[in-house]
C-alpha cells in the first residue's frame, strides 16, 4: 500500500508540472504555492506569460531577491547593472522579474 501511495503522489506531481509548463507556454495564469525549507508557504505566486529580454538598472540602487518573495532580499545592485530576464511573476499584486542567474528583481 505504501509503495502505491508513493507512486500515486509522484504521478500527481508529474501531471501538475506538465500542466503548469503547458499553461506557462500558452501564456495562461496559474497560482503556485511557494516551497521553502520550512514547508509550504501560504503566499501564492501568479505566473504570467513569460516576458524576456535584457534590463539595465536606471535608479541609484535596486534590491535583488533570492526567490519570488518580498522578504527574500539578498543584495543591492547599482545603477548601470544589466541582467537577462527569463520570466515575469506577480507577488502580492506586484511584478517581479526572474533573472537568468536565478535571482529576482523589481521594476
Predicted local distance difference test score (pLDDT) of residue 106: 86
Q: Give the Cα separation of 20 and 29 in Å (integer).
A: 9
SS3 for 29? coil
Residue 101 phi/psi, 5-degree rounding, is: -90, 5
- Please tell me the total number of residues recorded for the chain in this structure: 107
Q: Over its length of 107 residues, how does the chain's per-residue pLDDT go in tens digits? A: 566 676 777 777 777 666 655 555 555 444 444 444 444 444 444 444 446 788 888 888 899 999 999 999 999 999 889 889 998 999 999 999 999 999 999 87
- pLDDT, position 33: 47
- pTM exceeds 0.85: no
Question: Cβ distance 43 to 91 under 8 Å?
Answer: yes
Q: Which H helix or E strand runs over 78?
A: strand 73-78
Amino acid at each position: 500500500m505504501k509503495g502505491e501511495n508513493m507512486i500515486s503522489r509522484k504521478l500527481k506531481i508529474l501531471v501538475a508540472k506538465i500542466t503548469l509548463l503547458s499553461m506557462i507556454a500558452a501564456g495562461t495564469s496559474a497560482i503556485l504555492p511557494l516551497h521553502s525549507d520550512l514547508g509550504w508557504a501560504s503566499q501564492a505566486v501568479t505566473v504570467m506569460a513569460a516576458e524576456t529580454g535584457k534590463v539595465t538598472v536606471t535608479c541609484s540602487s535596486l534590491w535583488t531577491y533570492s526567490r519570488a518573495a518580498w522578504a527574500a532580499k539578498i543584495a543591492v545592485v547599482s545603477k548601470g547593472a544589466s541582467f537577462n530576464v527569463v520570466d515575469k511573476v506577480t507577488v502580492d499584486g506586484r511584478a517581479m522579474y526572474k533573472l537568468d542567474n536565478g535571482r529576482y528583481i523589481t521594476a
